[in-house]
Amino acid sequence: MSASETSARGVVPLLPRIVLAGCLLMPLVCAQGRPLPSVTLQGLFPGRAVLLIDGTTRILAVGAVSPEGVLLLEADPERALVRVGEEMRELSLESTRYSLNQTRRALASLKLVPEDNGHYFVDGTINGGSVRFLVDAGATVVAINRQTARRLGLLYRTDGKAGRIETASGLVDAWYVTFESVSARTLTLKRVEGVVVDGEYPSTALLGQSFLNAFTLKREGPVLEILGR
């Protein structure tokens, strides 16, 4: 897929962790005055970080060095520690990029990198309760299983509309509902169509089209970005 923006319908069916777009520009200069690579933090998850180094996206594991000489020392969902030359910098997801010609603002977007299985996951909420989502542009609506619905305290049998859906195990009972709110990190929608499946499927909540249609999905290499329109 090209790096150009596409609608959510144009992304492969399973696109699915987390990564919030944080932007911290680090203008580094070595002792001799030679400028070192600029490093922008784009995303974090345990043991790896997504960095924009002199305009090139690099996904580094802890202990790895980029071709530009940037060493990733530490990474977790909240921060990364990098070394360039003799300089060490701590990068935080809360960091915001500044420009002389721009006001400070938080970008309404997420940048995600795939797990080893190639799928994208993101932490979020349904009606304020924590959920881990698999980003699935092939799913029509946001879908959760019975156990997740009960953990969230949803009265889906009372508030929902009974129906049947087809799963890998065949047709199963389901309830079509409207979630008051669905969030994927900083991205939030109100009144989102969903379904509660009466069983263990899906084992991980699916972030489907009823949420994704409100955003634009863009791929740049392995990085999936979900952008507010």
Same-domain pairing of 40 and 144: no
Same-domain pairing of 193 and 168: yes
Examine residue 1 and state whether it is found in any structural domain, yes or no.
Answer: no
Structure tokens, 4: 């150009």
Bigger pLDDT: 129 vs 7: 129
User: How much is the mean pLDDT over the chain?
Assistant: 78
The 10s digit of each residue's pLDDT in 113-132 is 999 889 999 999 999 999 99
Query: What Rg, from alpha-carbon coordinates, does the chain have?
Result: 20
Distance (Å, rounded) from C-alpha 84 to C-alpha 93? 19
Per the DSSP assignment, residues forming a β-bridge with 172 are 165
Same-domain pairing of 86 and 132: no
Structure tokens, 73: 């020392």
pLDDT at 100: 25
Q: Which residue intervals of the chain are DSSP H helices?
A: 146-151, 156-159, 209-212
Find the range with the poorest average confidence among 95-109, 179-193, 209-223: 95-109
Distance (Å, rounded) from C-alpha 229 to C-alpha 211? 13
